[in-house]
Structure 1
């Protein structure tokens, strides 16, 4: 007689986890995008040299490869401020802007300096998305899922690097950047479907909005939040 009750509880638990899986999946688009940008220089630089359209010195190649990290270094302090000021979700949404600018610039490089600008903006987006994404994912997930979802997110970054190495060896640098630009738009649109972090909303004393966001993430009725939801809100 106990078996149907166990099955029902299992189904309810699975249903409550689905929005968290969805949120992680949408965040993984940004993780994959970050990976493609991180791995871009390996196939991208030989592709640029192969075209013969640009006269690049060895120092140019080094800067194009490394300036993305300067962008990341510049955006990290700003990201820490923005996730506290405007929220985790809005910072993730903002990160798609430098991603779009950087990847689009690399897809249409008319002069050498555009490579510098494109890679720097990609680094900015990378810094914003990594910091905001890791904080957001840790705050929206239940303790039992937090570790596994974080692993999935970081795996998506590695898959993006692998994608750049594999696909980038078969296509030109501008086409690879065009794919990244498309992913940037998809990532920005996907974040629109996610709620803000309930923890950040509570920090701003927006209790009802926090309850609505948490109910979305836990697949429950926001008009009748369960005691478990209210307990998590109080914590």
Structure 2
């Protein structure tokens, strides 16, 4: 798949062979589609965009409009972002608050009974991924997607850990390593999708959409996050003791 902003069109065509009315407004995507004769709502981003305050608000507004006007309608989030926009203007306006607002809107949709499925089809980095894809009931990715919390050279500069050491750690520990398979091992991704069966995979994802958050348990089962589930269980047990 190429790097152009039109990548979403081929993805949408594969996901929704019965047709869609998704529109692109800059790097923001919104609209609806038909899936097995039933409507689903679609929102997301394209072109590896950085999410600034405008796109964060646009996505939040789209989700709230779906909740208000189409109660219970499934929502598909198309994720392609290089993370939050690193500009002084966005930082001064409080980009963290806008991202938190977006995450809360997606959480509201889930609590109101909307099945929210995210698909990483391009890039997924840092806060732009956390506030969208990781807020869905379940997140999936195409095999060719680029997913990481932070590039290892940047991680090395911030943590002062030598790059060679981080590369060594990444070979055995998925927490340090980029790529869909490592995020699947950690439970962040439910599964990795392959073309051309995306329509069938989306249909199954909505059918099997979890109502509870099983990512920590999946990470433990897959050997990617060995302690998170046990710590969560211990905290829950202690609260009820």
Fold match by TM threshold 0.5: no
More helix by share: 1
- Larger Rg, first or second structure (1 or 2): 1
More strand by share: 2
